[in-house]
Amino acid sequence: MAPIARLAMAVLLFSATFINAAPTATTVDNDAHIAGFSRAVSQAAPGVKLVYKCTVPNTMAITFDDGPFEYTADLVKLFNKKKAKATFFINGSNNGKITDYAAAVKQAYLDGHQIASHTWDHGDLATMNAEQITAEMTKLDVAIKKIIGVSPTYMRPPYGSINDLVTKTIGAKYTIGGGGDVDDYKKSLKVYTDKVKKANGKPGEIVLQHETIKLTAQELAPRAIDYAQKMGWKLVTVGECLGKSKDTWYRK
């Protein structure tokens, strides 16, 4: 089976989940590029279903983009200590190289956290041709498989940016949502706690953070976990919060 056919089959097993910023927010993605929710919606292909939240009651998913990085291992230990799960949307070569942090990625996987794709080098897929899009996806798939033995079926496009060609090339329907990007500690902790309060037992948010930001990894993440658990939420992977079994998160 050709590489692109394998990719299409894998992604079609389950819709990849993309979370960007809230409709009124503008966020910094990769500490350099501006990613607004309106852009993600405007560039979504026709028929794309937008998913903003979990579907399983009393669950919430905290996700991290742009790693792996020097804080990944500590985040894994933090979530393990708190008996919570996280989802890591990783790159192959962005802030750091995946090979430099392979041990942290493997440990996250072994500990039951979800490893997902954020493309090889964080390029804007909507500006690429089919060959380039395929390379962004398959190169990372190969690298992840070398580390954990499987490739992810979930991914999040950098900047929330996709178009018809991206959807056609990868061969999947994408779910793009805005559970909220919370990296600005002073503003975001309040935004986060407000969202938790408003959910009130209903399916919770899919929260986007960046593991490359020191303040997020060392200050915001611990407080976010503590507050959610205090309010009675179960912090799970994206796959779990959408009611999907672990065997759908990856392909061999």
Overall number of domains in the chain:
1
Exactly one of 113, 118, 122, 210 is catalytic; name it: 210
Domain extent, residue 185, equals: 3-251
Span 194-224, pLDDT tens digits: 766 666 666 788 888 889 989 889 988 999 8
**Average pLDDT value for residue range 127-144:** 96
Amino acid at 65: D
CATH of the domain at 198: 3.20.20.370
Rounded-to-integer distance, Cα 120 and Cα 193, Å: 33
Span 61-104, pLDDT tens digits: 999 999 999 999 999 999 999 999 999 999 999 998 999 999 99
Residue 111 annotated in active site: no
Residue 121 annotated in active site: no
Task: Please give the C-alpha separations between residue 207 and each of 19, 41, 60, 79, 103, in angstroms, as whole numbers.
Answer: 8, 17, 8, 15, 25
Can you give the pLDDT at residue 179?
53
Six token digits for residue 201 = 């037992």
Helices 72-81 and 221-230 pack at an angle, to 10 degrees, of 20
Exactly one of 29, 33, 65, 66 is catalytic; name it: 65
Can you give the pLDDT at residue 79?
99
Q: Bigger pLDDT: 36 or 230? A: 230
